């Protein structure tokens, strides 16, 4: 499944990739009227859970140690994440 998801997401005519990245969004829509804020705490990695949660989010809170190397790493992470989220958006998720 780890290798099939990016392959499905790369095919714009395939609903599988879009379905995968919208699962958390669909779950949140079911409870939307009961909560003002939902916090999804993801591990510090860019796995499928984190990408799906980021796709469903309207805001992101990133904690970082106030040291130069950590801040530079966060900057690189945000640049990389922007590219990944554009790719996910490109398949309609």
| CA distances, 83 to each of 30, 39, 57, 62, 78 (Å) | 29, 23, 16, 17, 9
Whether the pLDDT of residue 2 is over 80: the answer is no
pTM more than 0.75: no
Whether the pLDDT of residue 1 is over 50: the answer is no
How high is the pLDDT of residue 36? 92
- Residue 20: name the closest of 31, 29, 32, 10 by CA: 10
* Residue in the block written with tokens 């994440």: 81
pLDDT in tens, 8-48: 555 556 665 566 678 888 899 999 999 999 999 988 887 87
- Contact residues for 59 (Cβ-Cβ < 8 A; gap 6+): none
């Amino acid at each position: 499944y780890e290798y099939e998801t990016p392959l499905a997401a790369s095919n714009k005519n395939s609903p599988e990739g879009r379905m995968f990245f919208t699962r958390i969004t669909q779950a949140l829509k079911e409870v939307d009227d009961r909560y003002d804020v939902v916090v999804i705490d993801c591990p510090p990695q860019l796995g499928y859970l984190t990408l799906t949660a980021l796709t469903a989010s309207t805001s992101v809170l990133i904690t970082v140690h106030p040291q130069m190397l950590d801040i530079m790493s966060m900057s690189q992470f945000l640049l990389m994440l922007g590219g990944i989220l554009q790719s996910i958006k490109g398949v309609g998720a």
